[in-house]
Amino acid sequence: MATMADVARHAGVSVATVSHVLNDTRPVLPHTRQAVLDAVEQLGYTPNTLARSLVTSRTRSIGLAVSAISNPYFTEILQGVEASALEHGYSLLIADPHDDPAHERKVVQLLHERRVDGMVVAPSADPGELVAYLRRHAVPAVFLDRLVDTRAEDGPAFDQVCAESAAPVTELVTHLAGLGHRRIALVAGLPGLSTTSERITGYRHGLAAAGLPYDERLVVHGDSAATGGERATAALLSLAVPPTALVTANNAMTIGALRALRERGLSVPGDIALCCFDDFAWADLFSPRLTAIAQPSKEIGAQAVRVLLDRLAAPERPARTLRLPCTFVHRSSCGCPEDPPQHPVHAPQHTEHPPQHTEHPPQHPEQPAKGTAS
């Protein structure tokens, strides 16, 4: 089996230079770097990551804890996290907290015990134990998709990366109101999640912008699940005066809403207009095709890794929150002709999330135009 010394001799460089190339710890001249990489390839050298971790106290691994990995939204986030981690030479350990606070605490502890250098976590609706554990053990972590207000706790705040939530829902509501709808309902997500509260805020802002009153009976929680979305839609359709338009706050609840409408023999948009938060791969295969808000899910995952690596490089820097813009995808379930152009949805001047430093990173070419929500 080839050793680092063998690579150094083959490339005509020092062992230290080989180490700098493989670990990216110091700049190396391009031709020297290529000579080392060629030697690694020709000799079939495999770095001993276990031995390296004993020396550096780093495993070059990242823990990812997200619920409902089977959900297309989180699947795309996972793809973004994995691609960015591999790009920077990190491996990935994955766990599913099942949106359960107690299980969330256990899986985060298991990841920590496996000596990951840091974590990317989509927190549950009650992340108190999670935050306490991460702080107690000084685990570098980035919260993903869902914001956590940690200002009142002892210790520093955490970095966070998410998409805009309020402004896109406002756009869906004003779009439906512009088509003449006056009873617009919302199938909201799981109570306690920041994404749920922000999308309700966006819904209310949309009603106010359209001059429509807020009716609490038109907001029913579908708990971010397909079964909950079906139950919530059934409840809305059972009102004495049911809604003429429906906004669903994530992709799973959209599926549930469509089931409820089908069971009642109602057509979209003939009997009721439908817009959804979260675009997904088959949204344009439905009949009618779904008007949706698309989240940059892969870029959310990629940005979370970049922010985590920034944290590892500079542990004392202030925490930051990055919000990425979404895209309005105009199809036909809203009841009007499709509009090919798509445009980003940016946040309004007011905000409901914790007043941490917020950044809007530049858009990257690889950013997708589809996603789903928590």
Quote the CA–CA distance of 251 and 332 in Å, as a whole number.
17
Element (H, E) at 35: helix 30-43
The structural domain count of the chain equals 3
- Whether residue 178 is contained in a domain is answered as yes
- Whether residue 341 is contained in a domain is answered as no
- Looking at the fold, whether 194 and 103 belong to one and the same domain comes out as no
Residue type, 317: R
Query: What is the per-residue pLDDT for 367?
Result: 37
Q: Pull the structure tokens for residue 292.
A: 């949706």
Question: CATH code at 213?
Answer: 3.40.50.2300
Angle among Cα 121, 79, 70 to the nearest 5 degrees reads 75
Ranking 4-8, 102-106, 288-292, 331-335 by mean pLDDT, the lowest is: 4-8
Q: Could you say which of 294, 311, 342 is where a domain stops?
A: 294
Q: Cα-atom radius of gyration of the chain, to the nearest Å?
A: 24
Q: Pull the structure tokens for residue 192.
A: 């306690």
Ranking 50-54, 259-263, 363-367 by mean pLDDT, the lowest is: 363-367
- Looking at the fold, whether 133 and 208 belong to one and the same domain comes out as no
Q: 283: Cβ–Cβ under 8 A, 6 or more apart, which residues? A: 276, 289, 290, 292, 329, 331, 370
Report residue 188's pLDDT band, with 50, 70 and 90 as the boundaries.
very high
Element (H, E) at 94: strand 91-95
Quote the CA–CA distance of 66 and 122 in Å, as a whole number.
5
- Looking at the fold, whether 224 and 270 belong to one and the same domain comes out as yes
Q: Which domain holds residue 184?
A: 166-294
Q: 171: Cβ–Cβ under 8 A, 6 or more apart, which residues? A: 206, 293, 328, 345
Quote the CA–CA distance of 341 and 258 in Å, as a whole number.
26
Q: Pull the structure tokens for residue 353.
A: 């999330």
- Whether residue 338 is contained in a domain is answered as no
Question: What is the rounded average pLDDT for all residues in the chain?
Answer: 86
- Whether residue 180 is contained in a domain is answered as yes
Question: CATH code at 25?
Answer: 1.10.260.40
- Looking at the fold, whether 285 and 300 belong to one and the same domain comes out as no
- Whether residue 330 is contained in a domain is answered as no
Ranking 123-127, 174-178, 324-328 by mean pLDDT, the lowest is: 123-127
Query: What is the per-residue pLDDT for 362?
Result: 42
Query: What is the per-residue pLDDT for 284?
Result: 73
Instruction: Tell me what percent of the residues of the chain surpass a pLDDT of 70.
Output: 84
Distances from the Cα of 231 to the Cαs of 14, 16, 228, 253, 254, in angstroms?
A: 67, 63, 5, 9, 12
Report residue 152's pLDDT band, with 50, 70 and 90 as the boundaries.
low
Phi, psi (rounded to 5 degrees) for 248 = -105, 140
- Whether residue 347 is contained in a domain is answered as no
- Looking at the fold, whether 174 and 285 belong to one and the same domain comes out as yes
Q: Pull the structure tokens for residue 347.
A: 């946040």
Query: What is the per-residue pLDDT for 58?
Result: 64
- Whether residue 14 is contained in a domain is answered as yes
Query: What is the per-residue pLDDT for 2?
Result: 80
Residue 72 pLDDT more than 90? no
Residue 281 pLDDT more than 80? no
Instruction: Over range 200-219, report the average pLDDT.
Output: 98
> Highest mean pLDDT: which of 21-25, 92-96, 198-202?
198-202
Assess contact for 254 and 248: CB atoms under 8 A.
Answer: yes
- Looking at the fold, whether 39 and 86 belong to one and the same domain comes out as no
Q: Pull the structure tokens for residue 318.
A: 């202030």
Ranking 21-30, 115-124, 246-255, 256-265 by mean pLDDT, the lowest is: 21-30
Query: What is the per-residue pLDDT for 251?
Result: 93
Residue 163 pLDDT more than 50? yes
Instruction: Tell me what percent of the residues of the chain surpass a pLDDT of 90.
Output: 67
Instruction: Over range 176-199, report the average pLDDT.
Output: 96
- Looking at the fold, whether 181 and 279 belong to one and the same domain comes out as yes
Distances from the Cα of 154 to the Cαs of 13, 101, 135, 312, 356, in angstroms?
A: 50, 20, 9, 21, 15
Q: Pull the structure tokens for residue 32.
A: 């020297």
- Looking at the fold, whether 81 and 95 belong to one and the same domain comes out as yes
Query: What is the per-residue pLDDT for 339?
Result: 58
pTM of the model: 0.77
Residue 305 pLDDT more than 60? yes
- Looking at the fold, whether 106 and 219 belong to one and the same domain comes out as no
- Looking at the fold, whether 233 and 185 belong to one and the same domain comes out as yes
- Looking at the fold, whether 170 and 282 belong to one and the same domain comes out as yes
Query: What is the per-residue pLDDT for 43?
Result: 86
Angle among Cα 254, 258, 260 to the nearest 5 degrees reads 115
Query: What is the per-residue pLDDT for 19?
Result: 82
Q: Pull the structure tokens for residue 162.
A: 């998410």
Report residue 70's pLDDT band, with 50, 70 and 90 as the boundaries.
low
- Looking at the fold, whether 272 and 179 belong to one and the same domain comes out as yes
Query: What is the per-residue pLDDT for 69?
Result: 64
Distances from the Cα of 319 to the Cαs of 309, 355, 359, in angstroms?
A: 13, 11, 11
The string of pLDDT tens digits covering residues 320-370 is: 999 999 999 999 999 988 655 455 665 443 333 443 445 544 443 333 333
- Whether residue 55 is contained in a domain is answered as no
